[in-house]
A and B are shown apart, each in its own frame.
Chain A
Amino acid sequence: MDVILGTPAYLPRTRLPYLFTALQAAGRRIIGPTISDGAIIYDEIRGVEDLPRGWADQQSAGHYRLVPGNADRYFGYVVGPTSFKRFTFPPTVPLWRARREGSEVTTEAIEPEAPALAFLGVRGCELAAIGVQDRVLRDGFVADPDYAARRAAIFIVAVQCTVSASTCFCTSMGTGPEVTTGYDIALTELNDGYLVEAGSEAGRRLMDTLPLTPAESVQQDEAKESVAAVRRTIGDPVAVEGLPARLLARLDDAGWAAVAERCLGCTNCTLVCPTCFCTSVGQVSDLDGTDSIAERTWDSCFSPTFARVAGGDFRPRLQDRYRQWLTHKFSTWVDQFGSFGCVGCGRCVTWCPVGIDVREELARIAPVETVAPVVAGETIQRPVAVPAAPPAPIALPVVGSTVSADFSRATVTRIKPETVDTYTLHLTDLDPRLLATQPGQFVMVEQPAFPPVPISVSRIGPSGIELTVRAAGPATKAITMLAPGDQVSLRGPLGRGWPLAELDGRDVILVAGGLGLAPLRPLVEAVLARLVPSQKVRLYLGARTPADRLFVADAAAWARTAGVDFEETVDRAGSDWTGRVGIVTHLFDEAEWDGRDAIAFVCGPERMMQAVAATLTRRGVTPEHTWLTMERHMECGIGLCGHCQLGRVFVCRDGPVFSVAELGDAFGQEGL
């Protein structure tokens, strides 16, 4: 029969094998539900005999059991521990191969595999989850080539939910139970067969090859009613109205510590989640370290190493990790990608070994009444500080013009020691895009066998750039031990730099602590190059000891420049130091200037930046004009691996430079 898109047809259950044959004839392997290890998982299936006919799944928080269900039904279960992301976003994927021969380095991306697959049995929530991952990994800032290739090769056979579990909350998240869009064909399981609907041209063509009959209206009514019954059963368990703001208002809630008492930090919730996309990159290398493959592996914000950097861990406590996960799913994801990160499938509830239920935690930590408007004369039971001002919007850098996600090579031409453990590498033979690096941007330095390291660009010249690197660990040490003539592989320029457009003739305050001077140096040079007579530049530098000062010759030249007020201090001095001693804010605690029309740029350890920002505020510099560069664990540099999140921002993608106004409550928040 001739099927028009959207016109339902009927396939008797006995003829379901024809669907398998048709998909296989189209050259597709079928991924669908099958029983393994006591659960209904998704794996390759070859025919109806692999389907979990007659089985249902009984689910509650921390509990899953297969139980006999309607004996005839193939799709009488809800969702199991697997999600289809296993096939669009596999647990381990090789990304690139890096080789060093003598001083030459080559880095080449590994071609993605994209098998032609058909997903069978995709539920409403799962279709929504695929949509969420599409927005993150395919349609976002930089597309992940592996995901995009795999995703393009998928044919989707959706199945309407005619049963639900106690853990389901798709109705609240607006993702189900009805399958409404994003599929090629959709089935609704009826007593004796399936209502079949096409959702795409490809689906319509497939339907042409099936032995269908026109669907009778009674069959259509039965299909509608069975899905509607599921909606009624689930109800509306999560109050999503205003949820993002409610959660952000509760960053200091005692509930985080309470849930951390129960949380195992085991990562199960994130790895069964069909939308979680955080990964880490590992290096598989030969014994010489000259040939290696970078592999991307599923990771989790609950991993102990996830937010770790050379200097420590940004989320050391379980409560920090739980808060990151829950606030990301239900709040900051909306800022980042325009939808919730949760689709209400309930997997995290069922598969939490101790049965922590996100629905209960949301209700406990962010109850609806917390943002109820204050009515005059009425007492609110739990008054809560809503963020004073919503954080300022952030303009992303533009991929292709100011940001390059591609690998390129450069040659080390000079290496200059700055301090006992810090060196400046001068790089030439660059990709022209790197010569257009903006002050404040960074590059990922990729060496065979070593993890990629983000390094801010410390000078941008006409024919080369400089990177100033402290040997904080083995990977950075290896960079400082490169010799002139050696090549390095780089990805960049990356991130959003200092907002030079905001200078606008304003007085400029520059404050650096230690290695924080590195990303500030190109800014200082840019500021001085366009200095106008009416403009004042105040430069305050801090270092641990006199021997830890960077760019001493440059600093001396800046100090001599007309219009520049230059002061520096050290935390600890030797007998030959005659300058100031103490923390950097002491340099302008008693200064005379008024900061109301000034713009400030600050870089250093986070605690130092907090102290500086507070002092600047007291001197009248506005949060909109106080700019910082933030440090977080970065692996990909392009907003795909998830490591560098700080509240609603990805430090690598949206920053690393931010104004205090943009960061809002996220700045100075412990454990974020």
Chain B
Amino acid sequence: MGRESRRADVRVGVARFTSCGGCQLTLVGLHDALLALFERVSIVEFAEVLSPRSGGPYDVLLVEGSVATPDQARRIVELRRQARALVVIGACATTGGIQALRNWADGDAWRAAVYPNPEFVAALPTSTPIADHVHVDAELRGCPIDPGQLKEVLTAVLVGRRPQLAETAVCAECKRRGTPCLLVDRGLPCLGPVTQAGCGAICPAFGRACYGCFGPVATPNVAALRAQLAGQGRSDEELGRLFAGFTANAPAFRAVAQPPEHNE
């Protein structure tokens, strides 16, 4: 399996679109694993960490952020051409992010309300995931992404195997951790049963209901969860807001999400 050739120069880049930058900094947060990684790959583009910038081509390009401007819509197509494997990282890149709440709004009206000279701001009316624009080879969910999953996907690329990324609901991780179900024992509105695992079920372990930052599982039964929460006396308004979070624009959540400003 070309064990020797693996040491060849693997060019890794990090590109940022509309996002806070937290996901790419997860790479820096790998600490010792990052040092080991540096011995095996060349990080050729990582604006937040490295001064020299060399650009493509890339064996692996990590793309953070959503497409929110016309310029970004052009740039992602160009980057895709330069990348052998394109891995999107984080809730923005995989679903459109929190900024996708603009998709429910009148973008021009918002721009006019926020900026004194809105004509200088070139923004698309929507914030959309990278996969809406180009083919993606793998995705890491979450706001922010999980460092273990980032290490796994990079290891898998180097080894040449399929990344082992959880596809179950967050509930599986609560159970392995030993966290009692917040929906059942406290009646909290937890999105864990319809949200993809990978975070390690951190929030429920601290008594905080999951708010779905990893986005929906492959076959989410959102209607059934929504019906259960409604049966516990929650209003449509409250339920709409529950799904209108960091991954509101993921299709399964988008269908029921309703940001607060738009509950007339």
Contacts and interface: CB of A to CB of B under 8 A. Distances in A.
Interface stretch (B68-76, B153-161, B234-242): B153-161
B178 A82 contact: yes
A298 B168 CA distance: 11
A86 interface: yes
B179 interface: yes
Interface in A249-304: 261-268, 271-272, 282-283, 285-290, 297-300, 302-304
B221 A264 contact: yes
A264 B224 contact: yes
Interface in B171-217: 171-172, 175-181, 183-186, 190, 192-194, 207, 217
Interface residues of B, number: 44
Contacts of A289: 3, 6, 155, 158-161
A638 interface: no
B47 interface: no
A276 to B, nearest CB: 10
A123 B177 CA distance: 23
B37 interface: yes
B50 to A, nearest CB: 20
Contact of B169 (A36, A262, A264): A264
A350 interface: yes
B28 interface: no
Interface in A279-332: 282-283, 285-290, 297-300, 302-305, 318
B171 A290 contact: no
Given A39-B185, A265-B221, A267-B169, A297 B176 contact: yes
Given A271-B175, A288-B6, A300-B168, A81 B180 contact: yes
Contact of B183 (A41, A303, A353): A353
Contact of B161 (A264, A350, A450): A450
Contacts of A36: 180
Contact of B1 (A92, A267, A481): A481
A249 B208 CA distance: 44
B60 to A, nearest CB: 13
Given A289-B158, A303-B168, A481 B2 contact: yes
A62 interface: yes
B108 interface: no
Contacts of B177: 91
Given A289-B158, A350-B184, A263 B224 contact: yes
A355 interface: yes
A267 B172 contact: yes
A354 interface: yes
Contacts of A478: 1, 160-161
Contact of A304 (B164, B190, B217, B225): B217
What does DSSP make chain A's interface, helix, strand, loop or mixed? Answer: loop
Nearest to B175: A271
A529 B4 CA distance: 44
A77 to B, nearest CB: 13
Given A92-B176, A288-B158, A478-B1, A283 B164 contact: yes
Contact of A303 (B2, B36, B172, B225): B172
B180 A37 contact: yes
A484 to B, nearest CB: 14
A233 B92 CA distance: 54
A74 interface: no
A20 interface: no
Given A39-B185, A265-B219, A304-B218, A271 B171 contact: yes
Contact of B192 (A100, A266, A283, A286): A266
Contacts of B185: 37-39, 64-66, 81
Interface string A33-50: 000111101010000000
B83 to A, nearest CB: 19
Interface residues of A, number: 61
A297 B171 CA distance: 14
A261 B224 contact: yes
Which of A92, A290, A354 has most chain B Cβ within 10 Å? A354
Which of A62, A268, A451, A475 has most chain B Cβ within 10 Å? A268
A473 interface: yes
Nearest to B196: A304
A351 interface: yes
Contact of A318 (B3, B36, B184, B221): B221
B40 interface: yes
B218 to A, nearest CB: 5
A117 to B, nearest CB: 16
A449 interface: yes
Contacts of B227: 354
B231 to A, nearest CB: 9
Contact of A354 (B168, B169, B186, B225): B225
B135 interface: no
A36 to B, nearest CB: 7
Interface of A: 36-39, 41, 43, 62-66, 80-82, 86, 91-92, 100, 261-268, 271-272, 282-283, 285-290, 297-300, 302-305, 318, 350-355, 449-451, 473-475, 477-478, 481-482
21 contacts: A37-B207, A38-B186, A41-B178, A43-B178, A66-B185, A81-B180, A81-B185, A262-B221, A267-B168, A287-B158, A287-B159, A289-B155, A305-B167, A318-B221, A353-B181, A353-B183, A450-B161, A473-B162, A475-B161, A477-B1, A481-B1
Interface of B: 1-3, 6, 36-37, 40, 154-155, 158-162, 164, 167-169, 171-172, 175-181, 183-186, 190, 192-194, 207, 217-219, 221, 224-225, 227-228
Q: Identify the 8 closest CB pairs spanning chains A and B, nearest first.
A: A289-B159, A271-B175, A266-B193, A91-B176, A39-B180, A264-B193, A266-B171, A353-B183
